[in-house]
Amino acid sequence: MPTKNERDPVMVLFRHDLRLSDNLALCAATEKNRPIVTAFILDEQSEGVRPLGGARRWWLHHSLSALTADLQKRGLKLVLRRGPMAETVTALAEEAGASTVYWNRRYDPAEIAADTDMKAALRERDLETESFSGHLLHEPWRLKTGSGGPYRVFTPFWRALVEAVHPRPPADRPENLTPFEGKVATDTLEDWHLLPTKPDWAKGLRDTWTPGETGAQRRLTEFLQGRGDGYKARRDVMGEAGTSGLSPHLAHGEITPFQIWQALDGDTDLAGEDARTFRKEIGWREFCWHLLFHNPKFATENFNRDFDAFPWQRDDKALRAWQRGQTGYPVVDAAMRQLWQTGWMHNRARMIVASFLVKDLGLHWRQGEEWFWDTLVDADPASNPANWQWVAGSGADAAPFFRIFNPVLQGEKFDPKGNYVRGFVPEIEALPDKHLHQPWKAPAEMLDKAGIKLGDTYPRPMVDHKAARERALEAYKSVKKAG
């Protein structure tokens, strides 16, 4: 048993909270006035914890590098360890002689289980532990419907959250941190090989993003000081930077919803309906976490079990064409290439490509969810499956299955000037707007003039949307029968 001493170090764990400001665990440690050991644990081994995809690994590398630099400025080192949470943290606490361990809570059920084990192991060794509210406005177990269960429908959930939760002011970045002077072994970031090398596919990610707390704050400021003007209407226009781009920063906890709330209450250009809509979108994130907390198998099982009867297709060639942006539907291809190049995709485009995969191609939503998990820098264990299930119709408060997006009409409506398609599908950029979203309808001489040979320089549509729609509705009958 360790003997407690007033000078024993306090250990603070970083996981989904790669920031110094509004970090309650770090603030509590600072108040102890004792040396602080800061550590990041990469846990891909605890049972049920989903290993990160490639794009998030890239982000994590850079975010940890930014956090290390921020801590160094304050005299602190970030210890890096890899392994199952409970064993790794108890071993490190022992090596550092820490008698207290603090962390911010995680809300994925598998991660909660890992943290529960960790807490038991630490307490068994007589260490003091405390956890603090993490990356959500609401604690998912506290908000309940009138009958005492979890919410399944967004509107009443959001109403209840707004009524019950008065977001606390965010905590300041602590300045007077006492460094831990002892020595403990640490991995290096390079040891973890988080960056892609052969091939290095991350150029577009490097050009697009600045992982880390400073990058997150900059994005928020730019968005609130002009870029977000007209958010409510512009958020659906795919060729414009009309949304915040905060999702990967939120996913890594480089910024908190409390900081966003405070910024919205302050002096900002985002007001009225635009601000209300933006808050509500953050509300969807809360709702997705609420759903995951109460449905641990959300990423692998249909929320609506009637969908277990759906006759999904298996077609690896079709899946590959979708993944590579070679479907012959320009808006789908632009979106899938945006994802591959930048690690992010516009929300409207996510809905279009998800509908296309599930309904036009008849492939299981899980195949799309897994591709997004690997390629999105904001891949999130709650929002990703919740939205895939929402589009597929199998989710909570989901879009009805028979709402099948027409990729041509969606393109014409939400990319009317073709900026989005031209940005990511340059081989058809010379087509006039009128034919940009359905090149196969363009007259032969126009295609010639634009340098396009369908089936050669750009694919013909891989399915006929109208026929695919009929097939999807036919397949859906088996779900209705099961229900």
List active site positions: 281, 284, 312, 347, 365, 388
384 part of the interface to ligand FAD, by CB under 6 A = yes
Identify any residues that bridge with 145 across adjacent strands, giving them in sequence order.
none
Task: Give the residue with the Cβ less far from ligand FAD, 376 or 421.
Answer: 376
Q: Which stretch binds ligand FAD (CB under 6 A): 145-153, 196-204, 281-289, 297-305?
A: 281-289
Please, which residue, 60 or 76, has the CB nearer to ligand FAD? 60
Q: Smallest distance from the beta carbon of 25 to ligand FAD, in angstroms?
A: 22
Residue 250 in the binding site for ligand FAD (CB under 6 A) = yes
Q: Pattern 309-348, binding to ligand FAD, x per CB under 6 A?
A: --------------------------------------x-
Sole binder of ligand FAD in the list 244, 295, 323, 367 (CB under 6 A): 244
Task: Pick the stretch among 6-14, 137-145, 151-159, 282-290 that binds ligand FAD (CB under 6 A).
Answer: 282-290
How many residues make contact with ligand FAD (CB under 6 A)?
27
Contact between 11 and ligand FAD by CB under 6 A: the answer reads no
Of residues 100 and 295, the one with the C-beta less far from ligand FAD: 295
Coil, helix or strand for 180? coil
The reply on whether position 256 binds ligand FAD by CB under 6 A is: no
Residues 341-360, interacting with ligand FAD (CB under 6 A): 347, 350-351, 354
With helix as H, strand as E and coil as C, how does the chain read? CCCCCCCCCEEEEECCCCCCCCCHHHHHHHHCCCCEEEEEEECCCCCCCCCCCHHHHHHHHHHHHHHHHHHHHCCCCEEEEECCHHHHHHHHHHHHCCCEEEEECCCCHHHHHHHHHHHHHHHHCCCEEEEECCCCCCCCCCCCCCCCCCCCCHHHHHHHHHHHCCCCCCCCCCCCCCECCCCCCCCCCHHHCCCCCCCCCCHHHHHHCCCCHHHHHHHHHHHHHHHCCCHHHHCCCCCCCCCCCCHHHHHCCCCCHHHHHHHHHCCCCCCHHHHHHHHHHHHHHHHHHHHHHHCCCCCCCCCCHHHHHCCCECCHHHHHHHHCCCCCCHHHHHHHHHHHHHCCCCHHHHHHHHHHHHHHCCECHHHHHHHHHHHCCCCCCCHHHHHHHHHHCCCCCCCCCCCCCCHHHHHHHHCCCCHHHHHHCHHHCCCCHHHHCCHHHCCHHHHHHCCCCECCCECCCCCCHHHHHHHHHHHHHHHHHHC
Min dist CB 120 to ligand FAD, Å, is 31
**CB of residue 280 to ligand FAD, shortest distance in Å:** 9
The only residue of 85, 379, 396, 421 in contact with ligand FAD, by rule CB under 6 A: 379
**22, 111, 213, 378: residue in contact with ligand FAD (rule CB under 6 A):** 378
- Identify residues 387-426 at the interface with ligand FAD (CB under 6 A): 387-388, 391
The neighbouring-strand residues paired with 40 are 14, 80
Cβ proximity to ligand FAD, 388 vs 401, nearer residue:
388
Residue 246 near ligand FAD by CB under 6 A: yes
Q: Does 376 bind ligand FAD (CB under 6 A)?
A: yes
User: Under the criterion CB under 6 A, does residue 288 sit at the interface with ligand FAD?
Assistant: yes
Nearer to ligand FAD, 250 or 447 (CB): 250
**Cβ atoms 235, 193 nearer than 8 A:** no
The smaller minimum CB distance to ligand FAD, of residues 219 and 422, is found at 219
Among 258, 372, 414, 476, binds ligand FAD (CB under 6 A): 372
Examine residue 281 and tell whether it contacts ligand FAD (CB under 6 A): yes
The site for ligand FAD (CB under 6 A) is made up of 235, 243-247, 250-251, 281-282, 284-285, 288, 347, 350-351, 354, 372, 376, 378-380, 383-384, 387-388, 391
